[in-house]
């Protein structure tokens, strides 16, 4: 669960705050892309569904908000990432994360609190984690190339 109580907010700058969990959520979008790179779409969709069910299983409005936001944002991330990964891995990760971050933030805040007051902080925090992960994504891509690994679902002639 992502904390939403005032004492659990992370300041980003001046008057921009977000629940401290946004940093972990931001990393999650990149990890989802990398899981798909290794396992393919089918296993990734199953993992998204399992994550959404686990989030929603607690039967609270916060858990429901988290589960629904996770499900929709991760599926949209998958839909953006899948066709782009063939041409540019880093571009695919950044583009899909932008979509996922915005959708996740809007859905979660709307359901959990009925307010978008923390939207800017949510987006900034998650985007920072995407940017922080870019060197790792480059490293994985380069390591895969050196090892001759072809990502799941990618034509070996188009890397």
Q: Tell me the pTM.
A: 0.84
Q: How far apart are CA 81 and CA 94, in angstroms?
A: 9
What does the domain layout of the chain look like in residue ranges? 17-147
Q: How far apart are CA 44 and CA 58, in angstroms?
A: 23
User: Percent of the chain, pLDDT > 90?
Assistant: 60
Q: Write the pLDDT tens digit of every residue in 73-106.
A: 999 999 999 999 988 999 999 999 999 999 999 9
Q: How far apart are CA 72 and CA 54, in angstroms?
A: 14
Q: What is the mean pLDDT of the chain?
A: 86
Which of 28, 4, 25 is closest to 109 using CA atoms? 4
């Amino acid at each position: 669960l992502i904390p939403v109580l005032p004492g659990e907010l992370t300041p980003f700058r001046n008057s921009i705050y977000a629940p401290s969990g946004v940093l972990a959520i931001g990393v999650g979008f990149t990890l989802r892309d990398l899981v798909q790179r290794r396992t393919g779409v089918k296993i990734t969709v199953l993992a998204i569904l399992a994550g959404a069910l686990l989030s929603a299983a607690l039967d609270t409005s916060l858990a429901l908000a988290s589960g629904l936001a996770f499900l929709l944002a991760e599926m949209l991330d998958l839909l953006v990432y899948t066709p782009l990964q063939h041409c540019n891995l880093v571009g695919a990760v950044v583009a899909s994360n932008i979509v996922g971050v915005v959708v996740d933030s809007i859905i979660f805040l709307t359901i959990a609190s009925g307010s978008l007051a923390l939207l800017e902080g949510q987006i900034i925090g998650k985007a920072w984690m995407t940017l922080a992960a870019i060197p790792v994504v480059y490293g994985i891509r380069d390591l895969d190339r050196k090892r001759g690994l072809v990502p799941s679902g990618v034509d070996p002639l188009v890397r």
